[in-house]
Amino acid sequence: MSGSYYGGDVSEIRKVLMIHGPNLNLLGQREPEVYGSATLADHTKTTKDALAKHGASLQTMQSNSEAQIVDAVHQARGVVDAIIINAGAFTHYSWAIHDALKSFAGPIIEVHLSNPAAREKFRHTSVIAPVALGTIAGFGGLGYELAVQALFCHRQ
């Protein structure tokens, strides 16, 4: 995908990769006042259930390593149809993840549990947003359901 608009057919979305970046393995324990009490497993189940309503399946990965996330995006090419990504802190500076995502042909939805624009100044910039169809932020776990809706509704 080059740029931020996916021009494909949403009926072709059958496999989605959900990527979680650094520290998101600690969801439910780390700063629940910011990120909520739901765990990564809870968010995965929510997303899997939402995709199932569209006949799509979910693959997931979480890594605290930028290189592993880049590798996962490379391996997703030609295998999955869309990516939902919460890159965590990598959102703000990982040009390597940006470039990997830019090479992915399907739609990409960026998700954040909190609203980075309402937090510390260093969180105000996303290097992921320019290669994403859109960004959903500040709605907690509902953001993952909204990401699925965005994948299937943006062209209808």
Specify which of 92-101, 113-122, 135-144 reaches the highest per-range mean pLDDT: 92-101
Residue 6 covered by a domain = no
Let me know: does 84 contact 147? Beta carbons within 8 Å.
yes
Say which of 20, 35, 43, 144 is annotated catalytic.
35
Q: What percent of the chain has pLDDT over 70?
A: 81
The pLDDT tens digits for 65-78 are: 999 999 999 999 99
pTM (two decimals): 0.87
Q: What is the pLDDT of residue 156?
A: 41
Say which of 20, 43, 98, 112 is annotated catalytic.
112
Residue 4 covered by a domain = no
pLDDT class of 15 with cuts at 50, 70, 90: very high
Stretch 83-90: mean pLDDT, rounded? 94
Judged against a pLDDT cut of 90, whether residue 4 lies above it is answered with no
Residue 93 covered by a domain = yes
**CATH number reported for the structural domain that contains residue 80 in this entry:** 3.40.50.9100
Q: What percent of the chain has pLDDT over 90?
A: 65
Note if 5 is an active site residue: no
Residue 88 covered by a domain = yes
Stretch 52-72: mean pLDDT, rounded? 97
Note if 112 is an active site residue: yes
Count of structural domains, the chain:
1
Phi/psi of residue 153, each to 5°?
-115, -10
How would DSSP label each residue in 79-142? T-SEEEEE-GGGGGT-HHHHHHHHT--S-EEEEESS-GGGS-GGGS--SSGGGSSEEEESSTTH
Helix H or strand E encompassing 47: helix 40-52
Structural domain including 24 reads 11-153
Residue 67 covered by a domain = yes
